[in-house]
Structure 1
Amino acid sequence: MISLVRMAAIALTMTGASSFDALAQSLLDRPPNLSGGWVGNTGTLYFHFLHRFSESGEPERKVSNVPTFLIAAGLPYRTLLGFNYATNSQLAPRYPNEWEFFGRFAPLVQDEGAPMDLAAQAGYNLAAEGVDGEVSLGRRVGPARLMSAGRILASPRESGRSRFALAGGATIRLGRFLALAGDVASLLNRDAGEHVAWSAGFHMAIPTTPHTLSLQAANTLTSTLQGSSRGSDMVRYGFEFTIPLTLRRYFGGGSSPPMPSGGKAGALDTTQVVTPDSDIERPAPEVQAPTPADTVVSDTARVVPPDARAGTPGTARS
């Protein structure tokens, strides 16, 4: 536990970035057990840690933790590559370390003018020793975002057998920084001991940082495709915390924002959740910055000067 706290502290220190280097990635647009087609921002590394706890009851009252760690990289063309690692999985007998290596691609994005979000994921689960896949749909309707997904999963107990699952969920925004979220999923033709999977969460964006936090309850163990499709008879409570690391801040390659004509040029106030830097230039009094409409911006949103602004950027999904 001490090493985990130290690792999180180092990551938090590394993520202090300027408003143009640290585009926020948010839990406000997806429930705990669905990815919602999130593909991140190009050139950004992501570290998410999820912990779910349960208590054994009397007389021991032992507290058990089922953690899942995600490390992924946002690539061009709305692509995400990464892996999930769960240290206390019960997917396969005598195989507690569950690894899921995956790639995700989003060909349609509603914030870019498409009628809905469409994403596909394919991966390999070492515990199940097979290939898993998911196709997901999403659409934003007012403060709500609705999601559905179909999954094909390798059976961890029968080699060569495939299982199918359906999932659906939603998030409801409560202003700029808060959201309620929930989802359900079920394997088709469930075996004995397998239950409908569900989760519910209270999600928040932490102001002036690129981080998001989810306080959640679920009857699932891990957040892999396999784990989030299988419910149990035990409710676990926990949290998920997200940490983005913007590589161009440390290795260069970033470009300066456009300079508005007249007055002192500086970083415009966008809708992203960032850690302020003391050396960021602010707009001159005579230059009016755009008013934020949300806590995060889309992966493809461009920041433009006030006299050329054509609209308000959309929200990003994670």
Structure 2
Amino acid sequence: MTQKSPLAITMGDASGIGPEITVKCIAAGARAVVYGSARVMQDAVARYAPALALRVIATPDEAELATGTLEVIDAAPMAALPPVGEISAASGQAAYDSILAAIEAAKAGRIAGIVTAPIHKEALSRAGIGYPGHTEMLADHGGAARVAMMLANDDIRTVLVTIHMSLRHAIEAADFGAQMAAIRLAHEGGQALGIAKPRVAVAGLNPHAGEGGLFGDEEITIIRPAIEAARAEGIDASGPWPGDTVFMQARKGAFDVVVAQYHDQGLIPVKYLGLEKGVNITLGLPFVRTSPDHGTAFDIAGRGIADPESLVTAMDYAARLAAARGTS
């Protein structure tokens, strides 16, 4: 991968706000190649950023990244524009095809990293695609043995032990191996963001971190042994800490990264502080991937009022991470 390798944005679900925030992000000065439908992106430029010129290119190597120009690789040709603000199998398929094309380019070293606009899980399902989200696609197609989600904003960073599954299954999946993988990735993720020795706080699974076994023993039998094993590897890990206070302590500066046991335990604190500054980073991949911390927003799609700030922030994080890897 050369230092001229561009970042890439995947357009997301074409029926949502992905195309809109993508063109607004490029219009605001972001330098990236777009993977998606040329037809959809041309329509989005006309609607939301008519001052932009649109240029269809075949490969990232052709990108000029000129100010005022959106360069798109037609990775998901669509015969017609999809419905706006509705679940569409065609949009689900196009989003998936765009992501896979970007992954292949990243693995080949032709792009410095991927920033993904939001996708819709039900649209994927209607297209016959069995993935519940980006993270699982990236893990399967990106060549990673184990990945984790890091959600970050200006105040806190959190890494998830389990991701998109029912709470019942998440409890079963949060075993010793999953704890170790998340703690290690939290440590590596903190270092990638420039923290030499990240302080990793591990949240408990049960109320009050189990209260010494009164409310469950997972903290004693699984989580604490994983923390001790991580510390033996030289990781500054601590806990298990009660899930209802650990994020407050992290926000005050006591910790650099919090390992959360399940999806909502980790995402609610980040999203409460504001979607516009939240970024999703996939750890464990051989390339950089970030995304905004919000969904497809079908309720406002097509109205021209979607805020691109979270996507702009995701671009900023991707650029920092790619620079740290020496890939851009």
How does the TM-score come out when normalised to structure 2?
0.25
Q: Indicate the structure with greater strand content.
A: 1
Q: TM-score, normalised by structure 1?
A: 0.26
Higher helix share: 2
